[in-house]
Amino acid sequence: QETRKERQLPNENGDGAHAGNTTTGAAALGGQMLGAMQGAAPRARATGKDGQEQAGNSSPGTHRVLSMDATLAPRDPQAPGQFGHPVAVPDDKQEEAKSRWKEGNFNVYLSDLIPVDRAIVDTRPAGCSEQRVHDDLPSTSIIMCFVDEVWSTLLRSVHSVLSRSPPHLIEEVILVDDFSTKEYLKEKLDKYMSRFPKVKILHLKERHGLIRARLAGAEIAKGAILTFLDSHVECNVGWLEPLLERVRLSRTKVACPVIEVINDKDMSYMTVDNFQRGIFTWPMNFGWRQIPQEVIEKNKIKETDIIRCPVMAGGLFSINKKYFFELGMYDPGLDVWGGENMEISFKVWMCGGEIEIVPCSRVGHIFRNDNPYSFPKDRVRTVERNLARVAEVWLDEYKELFYGHAYHLVLKNVDVGDLTQQIQLRKKLQCKSFRWYLENVYPDLEAPLVKASGLLVNKAMARCITVENTTLAFEACDVNDKNQKFNYTWLRLIQHGELCITPAGTAGTLGLRRCEGRSRSLAWLHRSLATFQPELTDHIISEHLQQPACLEVDPSHEALRVNACDSGNPYQKWQFGNYYAD
């Protein structure tokens, strides 16, 4: 479910529609976008006639973006899918198309039907073709990893790179075959590609998974810049130069194209809404979020302006090779697929770099609902473990939010493996804190460190739990009494300083113990149980005891105890002073 979300289409993702936090979010975002525009190179932003002249006069050493393009003169204008138009499966081919779907989890039949060098419409915003880039852009190694990719799709990806990039900027195209099982990806592929001297194929001898396959490609790359692509893409007109221009301006800029949509059903090339940032929601689900209209207007953000992103989608970006190595590339302990986009994004921002979307660079990608290849281990578990590694290394105290939103990982006590090297790396690079990242890069993320805090009031008695030395009491509420203040944490602890409320040794009684982050014996479920026992909302249920048992006040003695949960019992209803999240 969670990983599905990562692959949702940019313009279909619910995140874009979130209105809840626009006021604070937008204000904070305003500052951020302003920063973004100051960071953009004036030369690279020159658009329209005026801009062009200005750039021409004041900056020798620049030229217009070339339009290396088959769009205007496709080899066969009548061929299906030409210009990115949708294609329909003929009636008598429906069965065949259906049966071939699972080869790639998209319409493989249609992919085979349309030319491998089809033209697509130039979807760049007006002004992009007038933009100027430096004459001395660095050349790049393109790295494309694949496992059992569909033949026609892989070819179309490679053709689009070769025909829509200025040749001198392509050092090489490295195809990393991640131990594919399909016969056609062996000699047949080698033979086909042998006509393109720049294309090199690295056949891995065992399955590396996407993440380590990319590292294998990076190791042999000769270009100063690495450009990673998925193996089912179509690079659009002028896609490469604006990416390289950004990386040239600063070696710590990581440049991503706008990822457009190649429709999985009819293979049409669809453009996406402008002004979308790559973001994540808890527990680290990648998504897209539109910059609010008022922020766009207030800051006069143009369609061609660079967009700074809290996180990248993962598959398509250019990065300075030396910088990538300095950053320790990807954590090699990440397995197969997933989470590496979070890792590289946090690492880049926190250790002094920037992640940008470059609107004048556009690349289509086939979005699919499921991976068409097998996972060596369970897919969900692989992704969860990867994300937990990222959380442990990069999120500091905020990792509790991650675990709080994926509490099953706490219950499973997920084993993330050895993190020593990653933690050392973070120290060595003197990276900033996750708090800094939140404040400066992603201020619109809601990230309260606890779920609730303040007085813990019993609703029936209107009295409060109090800590007296190291024992618990039940007294008249007093907002100024520090001993009545508790935090309800993401790890479900009811915490007062170092101490946590727990069912005591003797049945039914309550006590205080030193808190331990992941201890289930200290965990209490408050509110969240609403999903399967709605009537128990506001109860506080111990997770420790065999039977579900609730925090209760014994009305006759005014003593605290744990007792069998009863939805109608008002002596079991509790409320914190403040709630920050559900």
Shortest distance in whole angstroms from residue 211 CB to ligand LR7: 8
Q: With respect to Mn ion, which residue has the nearer C-beta, 230 or 354?
A: 230
Q: Residue 287 Cβ, how far from ligand LR7 at the closest point, in Å? A: 8
Distances (CA, A) of 155 to 170, 270, 365: 17, 20, 14
Tokens of 570: 């008002």
Distance, in Å, from the CA atom of 331 to the CA atom of 84, rounded to the nearest integer, reads 37
Smallest distance from the beta carbon of 209 to ligand LR7, in angstroms?
Answer: 4
Q: Which residue from 524, 513, 522, 511 is spatially nearest to 565, judged by alpha carbons? A: 524
- 140 in Cβ contact with 224 (< 8 Å): yes
Size of residue set near Mn ion by CB under 5 A:
1
Q: Do the beta carbons of residue 199 and residue 165 sit within 8 Å?
A: no
Q: Which residue, 280 or 323, has its beta carbon nearer to ligand LR7?
A: 280
CB of 442 to ligand LR7, least distance (A): 17
- Rule CB under 6 A: choose which of 123, 252, 371, 528 binds ligand LR7: 371
- On the 0-12 / 13-18 / 19+ scale of CB atoms within 10 A, 556 is exposed
In the complex with Mn ion, which residue's Cβ is closer, 7 or 518? Answer: 7
Q: Is 146 an interacting residue with respect to ligand LR7 (CB under 6 A)? A: yes
Residue 95: CB partners within 8 Å, gap ≥ 6? none
Contact call for residue 311 and ligand LR7 (CB under 6 A): no
Closer by beta carbon to Mn ion, 146 or else 398: 146
CB of 429 to ligand LR7, least distance (A): 22
Please identify, among the stretches 166-174, 227-235, 373-381, 437-445, the one whose residues bind Mn ion according to the rule CB under 5 A.
227-235
Helix 340-350 crosses helix 379-394 at what angle (to 10 degrees)? 10
Residue 210 interacting entry, from ligand LR7, Mn ion, none, C-beta within 5 to 8 Å by type: ligand LR7
Please, which residue, 244 or 336, has the CB nearer to ligand LR7? 336
Q: How many CA atoms lie within 13 Å of 287's alpha carbon, on the beta-carbon side?
A: 19
Residue by residue, DSSP assigns 271-302 as ---SSEEEEEETTTEEEEEEPPHHHHHHTT--
**Given candidates 230, 354, 384, 552, which one binds Mn ion under the rule CB under 5 A?**
230
Does residue number 314 form part of the binding site for ligand LR7 (CB under 6 A)? yes
Residue among 133, 148, 154 at smallest CA distance from 199 = 154
d(CA 315, CA 334): 15
Ordered alpha helix ranges (H), 101-169: 108-113, 151-163
Asked if 310 touches ligand LR7 (CB under 6 A), the answer is no
Is 356 a binding residue for Mn ion by CB under 5 A? The answer is no
Q: Is 336 in the site for ligand LR7 (CB under 6 A)?
A: yes
**Nearer to ligand LR7 among residue 110 and residue 229 (C-beta):** 229
Q: What's the closest the beta carbon of residue 459 comes to ligand LR7, in angstroms?
A: 45
| Count of residues that bind ligand LR7 according to CB under 6 A | 26
Other Cβ atoms less than 10 A from the Cβ of 467: the count is 19
Residue numbers at the binding site for ligand LR7 (CB under 6 A): 6-7, 145-147, 149, 178, 209-210, 213, 230-231, 259, 286, 313-316, 336-338, 340-341, 365, 371, 373
Residue numbers at the binding site for Mn ion (CB under 5 A): 230
